[in-house]
Structure 1
Amino acid sequence: MLRAKTGLPASPFMEPEFTLTVGRVRPAARVAVLRQDGEDAGFFPYERGALGHGRAIGFGVSDCQGAVLKSGLDITARDLLRACSLTAWEFDNLEAGQELFTPAVAEGFDSPVIEIGEGYDVYEEQLRGESPKFLKSTLAKERKLGRQVGEVRFVFDERDPAMLRTLMEWKSAQYRRTGRRDRFAKDWIHTLVGLLHETRAPGCSGVLSVLYVEDRPIAAHFGLRSSTVLSCWFPAYDPEFAKYSPGLILHLRMAEAAAAEGIGMLDMGRGSAEYKDSLKTGQLRVHEGSSTRPGAGAALYWVSREPSRRAHGFVRNRPRLAGLAQQTLTRIGKLRGN
């Protein structure tokens, strides 16, 4: 109820089910409950670390973070941290509108979205006007896939856990190829995704979407949905079919199916990527940073985290350096694969 009154997009990452599921795999997960006049006035999910250093719940995988507070609640970030015995609280996907933590923002990022509230046909017509070559090429590849390989079919909400395992295997291989840290090598993330696939609640349900040729899966995506938002999370495809752009076909079919379910937005998450630029109709804004309160613990936090964050930001904001960094990661990935 409190969340609905904020007017912010109904992100499934901000729902109780996500926090409760993270709590099953992260023992340090906590939720502060704020009370006013004998009633619940706010909820603040977080993970508590050493020396009172806190992080957003599901830090590293959560795409929407913050506190759920009653409008007009008289509290400061410093008060909240003190009540939770935290010296610092770190976030990397703080949603827009989190005024309590706005002074602690260090950097902002676009999170591209696909708006389908008026229906898929309207979205496709918009693509036809703004990205005609992209849409024509993707639809042509889908038809070519059907002619050359076999019947193409799409399942929006696949419940088979074997398909989820296939997706995670593809994604892990992609992480290795590109020299990036394999998220699914972490037991808690692997387990969390499996648990969320089983979660069925109005505000937070796991959705596994799969593109098949005949009975063979060639692309898949796992994300979370509320009644109005599908948060895109883990997309991957079989490299054998790369020439058909199965990931792009998958996203178009996801948008079509989501619109039919009454979902108004696909949030593709923070970060730039060519496929996001081709598909997006707009963007949300998310932020990273850390809220601290004075003391030795905050100083230790700054020394341990801030130099690394600033170094990443320095590279990220300079396209040439970022490109060189990506080339290096790709070379590392190839070496690992040999």
Structure 2
Amino acid sequence: MNKKSLEEIAQKMVADGKGILAADESTGTIKKRFDTIALESTEDNRRDYREMLFRSDEAMQSAISGVILYDETIRQKAADGTTLVSLIERAGSIPGIKVDAGAKDMAGHPNEKVTEGLDGLRERLEEYFKLGARFAKWRAVINIGDGIPSRACITANTHALARYAALCQENGIVPIVEPEVIMDAPHTVETCYEVTSSVLTALYAQLDEQNVHLEGSILKPNMIVSGTECPTQASVQQVAEMTLDCFNKCVPQAVPGIVFLSGGQSDELATAHLDAMNKMGPHRWKISFSYGRALQAAPLKTWGGKPENIIAAQAAFTHRAAMNKLAALGEWDANLEKG
């Protein structure tokens, strides 16, 4: 493990005003996205869509520090024969790769998930490094419900995250550790705070046990938000204050950056929450974004699978990237969305 190299990559991933584009939708997930625009999910259509995003030069160069790819995408070539990895690198962004095998039902624990994918991971990471990946992502799923999450679920998922992170660093790849507390439930913002605190505390204990170099890692967590079905939704300011309070107590200062997931929030709300946190800075770590749907929903809808819409779709992507760049700097304002 070359600690200096890992630290340099991690710092680039959280450069001022830049965040990460999550373009790592599985084949099943991207099909659901394409269904919304009545487009068949073929390999060429998936390639064309991602190529359109990666060729959005203004967005990529000014606001996107890295792109998380799916196994299919990291191997694909653009229509002109250029590898998609090369397009990302040309824009000054860092290629990354999703390496987990998905969240599966946890045996003996109804309604809980555990993420699989550790078997053969060392060899896969070696191949991904050769394909150009310099960071990776592994997502754990933590559901809130009656009597859950259990201690067993939290332990199993954070242990897997730590083992994944150690393997990444062994192979010169910066690990993004993503423990996502799911917001699709009726729980209060206070419950989200309690569960997220427990998960983060367990995560950093496990990372310590596995000798993970924190300065060469990035955290991708949920924000502290009310469950989607909770009748009382926390305000933007309350979300920002509770999120920062939780993370100040649970996340070591050695971590270079926290890149939040949007987790089903609307585009603008995800931006507003990020901005509110950064307006309360400076913080002990960089606070930025690693958004998938919150960056892609607008360009996907605008594109609609039609070549004649590419320029308009790229403009929609560039707008969302610009808004989140401002939020990462604490300089966003809702009035800018109208422009």
Please tell me the TM-score bracket, short chain as reference: 0.3 to 0.5
| Larger of the two Rg values belongs to structure | 1
